[in-house]
Chain A
Amino acid sequence: MVGGAAGLKLIQRTLHRRFERGMRYTDQRMGGAPALKWLLRYVFPDHWSFLLGEIALYSFLVLIGTGIFLAVFYIPSQNQVIYHGSYALLRNQEMSEAYRSVLDITFNVPAGLLIRQAHHWAADVFIASIVLHLIRIFFTGAYRKPRDINWYIGLTMLMLAVLEGFAGYSLVDDLLSGMGLVIAYGVALSIPGIGGQLSSTIWGGQFPGTGSFFSRLEIVHVFLIPLALTALISIHLATIMRQHHSQFPGPGRRERNTVGTPMWPAYALRSIGLMLAVAGVLFLLGGLIQINPIWQWGPFHTYLSENGAQPDWYIGWLIGALRLMPNWEPVIGGYTIIPNPFWGGAFFPLVVFGIMYAWPALERKFTGDRRRHDLLDRPRDRPNRTAIGAAFFSWVVIIFAVGSTDRIFFRLHIPYTGMIHFWRIGVWVLPIVVFFITRSAARALKRSESHPLRGWQGQVVSRGPDGAVRVLEGDGNATPEIPPPVGTVPGHDYPEQKPSE
């Protein structure tokens, strides 16, 4: 026993010496110790919602790893071949080489289906986590100066991620993806003025294009967009590190500091844990839940289609907009000025992203608040912003939901045409209702200080009309009766409108 302990101590000492020597070796050549020290002591504020972006980051890593594996087997070719592979239901069918190569990944490459499904799940979760991250950023006001640049970068990455996902599942050339691709072709054609030449250039002629189209799409999917995303992620993270994370208000937390867990060792371990958990969940999904069973869809031909065809979820809002749009197609002087798919497929996403890009500047303009903010808002403390955000997101979510009205029809037997006519109006009315409900809910919560999910857990300090300060205690469930606030509560740093600059 004693010998063992001594041996351990020896190992530890040797390790220590080795480590020291290694550090000196690199430092003599790179001089990185101060930067490394800064990094190891970098403080991460503790809140779970700050990890949503990390989930996206780690999904991206899984995407790259699994994607490299898939790229090794994929053949970007539209050449028509006859299938003689191992999946009986497709034998002797004519299909593109691209589709056959993905069938081979699925059925013949050991672990190929696992990697392919994990890749696809990673894409779905990647974009979902970006959206959740964006929602968190919006409702806590984390996009304000100095983080507005990072907000723009994040939005750009979301757009690129959606394109990347679409390009990815379109490469497979199964019937479902072919239907998506032809709609993309229709949307590209519909861009006023330049659409015809633009899509002719992208596809190398009329859909389904020349033999080189899938090579072009593959370059976009495996090289151009991943490269752009990697560059933007680097800038995104570097900016965060330079500015430090924002944080929620709390004891000792100020605009001018960050309070939390330093990178080394506790945070690094937790973050590695999250990375492994992301990979673990994605591979579990990839192994246990089937995604995009292309062998059930069959090969694509321009004259084939199926009912209930749907894009992946992150394109769903566009199919909803395409379905909701009335059949306007203005024609002037023999030219079709705005072909119909433009509205839903191009104009609508431009408006959504345009509003989000413009938001930080709009808010600065309307509130006049140009200060730097490193402390976050709670959503309730900004009822107007929260209500506008809720209305805006509900607008997008309704249109998203309309994209699945055919399944809703099938499930609930609500007439499809009736639903479309209803939502053509409802999509404008409901967000307004959401605005007013959210705003009054935020105001009520702000007054009562109870948490919508956890019930009452705090105490309220209020100053009565007589000027006396009273402390009200809750009983764990109900909110104490609170007299309406009179004037400003001392120390309350949440001005509702136009803070004096």
Chain B
Amino acid sequence: MRWFTRRARTPRWIRGTVALALGALALVSIADPSSSGASSSPRRPSMTEPSGIAHVSATPGPLKSLGGPPTTLPNAPRKSPEPQPPGAPTTTFPTSPQLVAQGQSLYEDGCASCHGTLLQGIHGNAPSLIGVGAGPVDFYLSTGRMPLDNPRDEPQRNAARYTREQMNALIAFITKVGGGPAAPAVNIANGDLATGFHVFVEHCAGCHQLVGRGGLVVGAHVPNLQQASALQVAEAVRMGPYLMPHFDAKQINQYQLDSLAKYVLWTRHPSNVGGWGIYNIGPIPEGMVAWFIGLLALVFVARLIGERMETR
């Protein structure tokens, strides 16, 4: 025990510190909902929209529906298609004949096997894309949820399979053939964090957790939102991807949407004035810290104080 008079061996306090550090490391790895995956993730979310899109127009403009009116299968109740209300800003994606042609070939390679060559969908396999509009297509492609290897899988966030230009091409093709409403637009500069938090608590926290750390709904995975861009938030709110409900402008108006997106971006770096935020998911990591950092450190002190059972 005379640790400072004996030099030959590694002092116990060093070994203890190493053990504590490793304990903390293990905590990071075990408890973190976003660290290991996110840090090794090839793509970091950026606060700004990818260039090449996000041309926001405040004029509603009549919706062009080249593929005829949106159809719903009789036994497939869908969420009501949500055209942007008059006056709401929309995001316009670039389009040109070349893009449409490029999009068509990409579509035939990557999407047609499930969604059908005419966007009509294949019963029991994938829904029709007629009338969905630009928002859902951009959302599913830019979050890497599509294309899906197995149509029965739950689409989950992933590295985007297409470049921005390819996505624009697909959007151009699908909206040209299938029509549908324009994508929503969002401008976080118009939003207010307090409003965003309030709206988030009321409509989103039930599934996504208060700081957007995700969770579960029976039957599906609720993603964390730290990688979502503002536009993706808006698209998801208006569309309701997978099992998520959607929220129209009567429920979440444009100002509230801007605020909501601002809050979601804020959750990437929430206000952790208390110190290390331990992932902002509440008591589970707190309990781990109490046991494996707090109590472990104190047991280590107790080991220094109390002599071992000895038989000298």
Contacts and interface: CB of A to CB of B under 8 A. Distances in A.
Direct contact of A and B (CB under 8 A): yes
A100 to B, nearest CB: 15
Interface string A169-188: 00000011000000000000
B306 interface: yes
Given A307-B209, A410-B33, A48 B303 contact: yes
Interface string B176-207: 00000000000000000110011001100111
Interface in A270-301: 270-271, 273-274, 277-278, 281-282, 285, 287-293, 295-298
B282 A93 contact: no
Interface stretch (A30-38, A83-91, A366-374, A438-446): A83-91
Contacts of B301: 273-274, 277, 281
A125 to B, nearest CB: 4
A271 B302 CA distance: 9
A383 interface: no
Contact of A311 (B194, B283, B303, B312): B283
Nearest to A281: B297
A1 interface: no
Interface in B273-312: 273-278, 280-284, 286-291, 293-295, 297-299, 301-303, 305-312
B216 interface: yes
A216 B291 CA distance: 31
Interface of A: 46-52, 54-55, 87-93, 106-107, 113, 117, 120-121, 124-125, 128-129, 132, 175-176, 248, 250-251, 261, 270-271, 273-274, 277-278, 281-282, 285, 287-293, 295-298, 304-314, 316, 404, 406-407, 409-411, 413, 416-417
A281 B287 CA distance: 15
Given A90-B197, A175-B210, A282-B294, A310 B282 contact: yes
Given A128-B294, A175-B201, A407 B207 contact: no
Most buried by B among A51, A52, A417: A51
B238 interface: no
Contacts of B305: 48, 51, 270-271, 273-274
Contacts of B201: 175, 298, 304, 306
B309 A307 contact: no
Most buried by B among A93, A277, A291: A291
A313 B286 contact: yes
A-B residue pairs, 5 tightest by C-beta:
A313-B287, A290-B274, A124-B290, A48-B306, A307-B215
B85 to A, nearest CB: 26
Contacts of B206: 305-307
A308 B281 contact: yes
Interface string B209-245: 1110111111001100000000000000000000000
A87 B270 CA distance: 12
A164 B121 CA distance: 58
Contact of B308 (A47, A89, A125, A132): A47
Contacts of A278: 298
Nearest to A124: B290
A51 B194 contact: no
B202 A296 contact: no
Contacts of B312: 251
B295 A55 contact: yes
A55 B305 CA distance: 12
A85 B216 CA distance: 34
B51 interface: no
Contacts of B198: 93, 298
Contact of B289 (A250, A273, A285, A295): A285
B271 interface: yes
Contact of B295 (A125, A273, A413): A125
B210 A48 contact: no
A261 B309 CA distance: 13
B282 A309 contact: yes
Contact of A277 (B33, B202, B214, B298): B298
A48 B281 contact: no
B115 interface: no
Given A296-B270, A305-B206, A121 B294 contact: yes
A93 B194 contact: yes
A292 B298 contact: no
Main secondary structure of the interface of A (DSSP, over half): helix
Contacts of B218: 416-417
A121 B205 contact: no
A410 B285 CA distance: 14
B274 A117 contact: yes
B170 to A, nearest CB: 28
A48 B299 contact: yes
A248 B309 CA distance: 7
Contacts of A125: 290, 294-295, 298
Given A296-B211, A307-B215, 19 more contacts: A46-B308, A47-B307, A47-B308, A52-B302, A117-B275, A124-B286, A124-B289, A124-B290, A125-B294, A250-B310, A274-B301, A281-B298, A289-B276, A289-B289, A290-B272, A293-B272, A296-B210, A310-B283, A316-B287
5 contacts: A124-B289, A251-B312, A293-B274, A308-B215, A417-B218
A467 B312 CA distance: 28
Contacts of B211: 296
A107 B271 CA distance: 12
A250 B311 contact: yes
B302 A274 contact: yes
Contacts of A309: 282
Contacts of B216: 307-308, 406, 409-410, 416
Nearest to A251: B311
A48 B308 contact: yes
A311 B312 CA distance: 47
B283 A407 contact: no
Contacts of A93: 194, 198
B312 to A, nearest CB: 7
B194 A48 contact: no
Contacts of A129: 295, 298
B194 A90 contact: yes
B208 A296 contact: no
B298 A89 contact: no
B287 A406 contact: no
B61 to A, nearest CB: 36
Contacts of A52: 299, 302
Contacts of A311: 283
Nearest to A285: B294
